[in-house]
Structure 1
Amino acid sequence: MPIETSRPVAAGVVTALVGFTSAFVVVLQGLTAVGATHAQAASGLLAVTILMGLSSVVLSLTTRLPITVAWSTPGAALLASTGAVDGGWPAAVGAFVVTGVLVLATGLVPALGSLITRIPASVAQAMLAGIVMQLCLGPVTGMAANPWAVGPVVLVWVISLRLLPRWASPLTFAAAAVVIAVHLTRSGTPVETSSLVPRLELTAPTFTLGALVGIALPLYLVTMASQNVPGVAVMRGFGYEVPWRRAMLVTGAGTVLGAPAGGHAINLAAISAALAAGPDAGEDRSRRWVASVTSGLVLVPVGIAAAAFATLVSLAPEGVVPAVAGLALMGTLAASLRSALAEPSEQVPAVVTFAVAASGIAVAGVSAAFWALVAGLVLRAVLHRPTD
């Protein structure tokens, strides 16, 4: 294979593997938290993985740009911190459908996209930091509850951060897989082969006010503010202009399509976008779209294996899965806190937003993420009110 082709292909493979292994545990935790069974969570992981792969292929082929689509990791963290809502899993599925419709509307109505960009970055990032904070406590509580199982996972993460930072999350999951394998061998726990077979579990959506306000609206906002808008900025930094309307229509339609199977949301990649759009994908910028196409093609068979990954996670000893999820989100927490507190004049509203989101409270069936956004925006408006 010529080097001008092999580099973007290799970059695409890395993008797919790093993107999947770094956060699929978070996706499973989020879906389970809002009421999915093991089979439904595995179905949701399968759906979002395959849809983000196909969406990457479609957008890259039609635009000849290295556009990469990912699942909403912040959205999955939001679900994990929200928990069950009125109406259970069918209501959560209904919220996923509404989220996709809102993303579609953002592509069709330019004013809606402009409204999203007017949410102060400090408040949006503080909300995200509060959401992921709860999950980032996983390694701490895991070490206290089961140090012999969680300790090796944390150790591999630390060493990987020092030597191979890009592969820290995948190597952390590999360490967790070894811990799980040792646990299964010592305990003699049987693995049902039927649980390894990929299968879509379709759920008819229902719509409740609690799920719409507590899941759909925060999921849409955090996906737009923490994934789609930064994703466009990352691409612009590499000299590519993402066709906003087309990207929102493809990812919105993909979210709606995947919702009955349990998929929560797909969106433009932000962090992983740099792997396919940056210099690692080759010197020829006009050929980097091959990396995104490759990433999408790799994600399809990976998605088919989602049931096996979900089964592996379900058999983990106490504390291992929350630790892996928390370690995967440490970088997100650091980046969001840095952005939230960058401006001194924005720090108090940002801290209040963070505190409310991290509290995990639910008032009138509405999740903390929504109330955090309200509290932050109201306080910011009061503190920034013009004086006579």
Structure 2
Amino acid sequence: MRDDTLSPVTAGVVTALVGFTSAFVIVLAGLTGVGASRDQAASGLLAVTVTMGLTSILLALWTRAPITIAWSTPGAALLASTGVVEGGWPAAVGAFLVTGGLILLTGLLPSLGSLVASIPASVAQAMLAGILLQLCLGPVTGLAANPIAVGPVVIVWLLTLRFAPRWASPLAFVAAAVVITAHLVSSGTSPGAGALVPRLELTAPAFTLGGLIGIAVPLYLVTMASQNVPGLAVMKGFGYEVPWQRTMVVTGVGTLVGAPAGGHGINLAAISAALAAGPEAGEDRSRRWIASVTSGTLLLFIGVASAALATLVSLAPEGVIPAVAGLALLGTLAASLTAALREPSEHIAAVVTFVIAASGITVVGVSAAFWALVAGLVVRWCLGWAR
């Protein structure tokens, strides 16, 4: 294989492996957090993995640009902190459908995208930071509760962060897998063969006020502000203009297709986009689209492991999986806090938003993320009007 083909193919493999292994635990935690059973969470993981693989291939071939699609990691973190809403898992699936519809409308109605872009970055990022805080406490609480099992995971993550930062989260999960395997061997536990077979669990959606305001609206806003907009900026930084409307339509349809199977949403990749669009994908910029096609193709095969991974996660010792998820989100938390507090005049509104989002409160069946956004905007308006 020629070097101008080998480089993008290698970059695509790295993109798929890093993107999946660094965050799939967060996706499972988010889906179970809003009421999914283990099988339903595994189905959701399979759905988002396959849809982001297919849409990556479609957009890369269509545009001849290294456009990479990912699941909404901040969105999954939001779900993990939201809890079960009125209507349970069917209401969550209904919210995923509404989110997909909103993303689709963003592509069809440019004014909707402009409205989302008008939300101050300080408030949006503070909301995300508040959502992430509880999850990022996982390594701390895990070490306190089960240091023997969680300690090796933290040590591997820290050493890898020092010498190979890109692989810190994936290798932390590898360490967790070793710990889980040792735990299963010592306890004599063995998962049944049927639990390892991938399958889709379709759920009839329910549409409730709690699902709409508590999940759909915050999930849409977090996905747009923390994934699609940064993803657009990353691609522009590498000299690629992403066709915004086309991408929103494709990812909106992909989210709608995956929702009945439990998929919470797909969007433009942000961090992993740099792996497929950057110099690692070859010197010839016109051929880097091959990296996205390779990544998408590999994800289709990785999706087959969804049930086995969900089973492995469900059998983990206390504290191990929350620790892996928290370690994977520390970088995102740091970036969100930095963006939220960048402007001194925005500090109070941002802190109010952060505190309410981190509180985890539920009022009239609506999650803290929504109230945090409302409170932050109100405080910001009041302070701006006073000045």
Q: Same fold (TM over 0.5)?
A: yes
1:306 and 2:306 aligned: yes
Give the 5 Å matches for 1:305-344: 305-344=305-344
Structure 1 residue 183: deviation in Å?
A: 0.4
Supply the distance in 2 between the matched residues of 1:124 and 1:274 (Cα, whole angstroms): 23
Give aligned pairs, total. Answer: 387
- What secondary structure sits across from 1:267 in the alignment? strand
1:118-155 Cα offsets, whole Å, 9 max, x none, are 11111111100000111000000000000000000000
CA distance in structure 2 between the aligned counterparts of 1:233 and 1:381, rounded to whole angstroms:
27
Partners in 2 of 1:102 and 1:304 — Cα distance? 29
The residue matched to 2:79 in structure 1 has which SS?
A: helix
C-alpha distance after superposition, 1:206-251 (max 9, x if no partner): 1001110000000000000100111101101111110011100110
CA contact (8 A) 1:74 1:222 kept: yes
Output one character per residue of 1:299-318: Cα deviation in whole Å (capped at 9) or x when no partner.
00101111111111111000
Map of 1:297 onto structure 2: 297
User: What amino acid is the match of 1:247?
Assistant: T
1:366 positional shift: 0.4
Match of 1:150 in 2: 150
Question: In structure 2, what residue type is equivalent to 1:242?
Answer: V
* 2:52 matches 1:52: yes
Counterpart for residue 369 of structure 1: 369
Could you tell me whether the CA contact under 8 Å between 1:50 and 1:304 is conserved in 2?
Answer: no
Q: Output aligned runs, 1:186-197, within 5 Å.
A: 186-197=186-197
Residues 266-319 of structure 1 show CA distances to partners (whole Å, capped at 9, x for unaligned) of 000011100100111111111111101100000001011111111111110000
Give 1:57 shift: 0.2
Alpha-carbon distance in 2 for matches of 1:283, 1:166:
21
Look up the match of 1:248. Answer: 248
Name the residue aligned to 1:231: 231
CA-to-aligned-CA distance 1:307-355 (integer Å, 9 cap, x gap):
1111111110000010000000001000100111111111111111111
Instruction: Name stretches of at least 5 consecutive residues in structure 2 with no aligned partner.
Output: none
Deviates most, 341-350 or 211-220: 341-350
Q: CA deviation at 1:84?
A: 0.2
Partner residue, 1:214 = 214
Name the CA distance, whole Å, in 2 between partners of 1:152 and 1:130. Answer: 27
Secondary structure at the residue paired with 1:70? strand
Matched, 1:163 2:163: yes
- CA distance in structure 2 between the partners assigned to 1:124 and 1:237 by the alignment: 22
Q: Report the equivalent of 2:283.
A: 283
Amino acid at match of 1:72: S
Structure 1 runs, 4 residues or longer, greater than 6 Å off: none
CA contact (8 A) 1:139 1:324 kept: yes
1:172 & 1:352 partners in 2: Cα distance?
33
The aligned runs of 1:173-192 (5 Å cut-off) are 173-192=173-192
Q: Which runs of 5+ in 1 are unaligned?
A: none
Structure-2 separation of matches of 1:21 and 1:41: 16
Aligned-residue identity in percent? 75
Partners of 1:99 and 1:378 in 2: CA distance: 24
Write the distance in 2 (CA, Å) between the matches of 1:234 and 1:89: 34
SS in 2 for 1:305: helix
Q: Residue type matched to 1:306 in 2?
A: S
Question: Partner amino acid for 1:361?
Answer: I
Distance 2:323 2:134 in 1: 11
Is 1:72 the counterpart of 2:49? The answer is: no
| 1:221 maps to amino acid | L
